[in-house]
Amino acid sequence: MALPPTPDPSAFMREMLGQWEQMTNQLGGEMMKSGEFARVVQGASTAQMKAQAAAHQMMDKALAAANMPSRSEVEDLSARLRGVEETVGRIEALLMAQAGIKPPERPKPKRTRKPPAKA
């Protein structure tokens, strides 16, 4: 007499998981097709953007109250400073050229890598 095969509990769980995934995918697909879902997603996105803008405004107000620059102000100052440095460099080069002074040599990087030897 042959014994009946014992049921495999993992096969039962895989079957249940497969059915659950299939039903969830079907329900999610139907839900995403509806206009209501698109409106909810759009509303959530709009709310997130408004919250982010409000947080930026609050941070700007807090920084202004502490007499500290905001990130955008620091970036503006950095760009202006870069422009001033470039202008000073050009003026310095012109003055050196007029005075006949050779600009100082800037150290070049050391070339320690050698090309592969040819056979």
pLDDT tens-place string over residues 16-64: 999 999 999 999 888 888 888 889 989 999 999 999 999 999 998 998 8
Predicted TM-score (pTM) of this structure:
0.44
Which two structure tokens, joined as six digits, stand for 69?
Answer: 């620059």
Do residues 40 and 47 lie in contact, with contact meaning Cβ atoms separated by under 8 Å? no
Helix (H) or strand (E) holding 66: none
In angstroms, the CA 119 to CA 114 distance is 15
Average pLDDT of every residue of the chain: 88
Can you tell me the distance from the alpha carbon of 94 to that of 22, in angstroms, rounded to the nearest whole number? 75
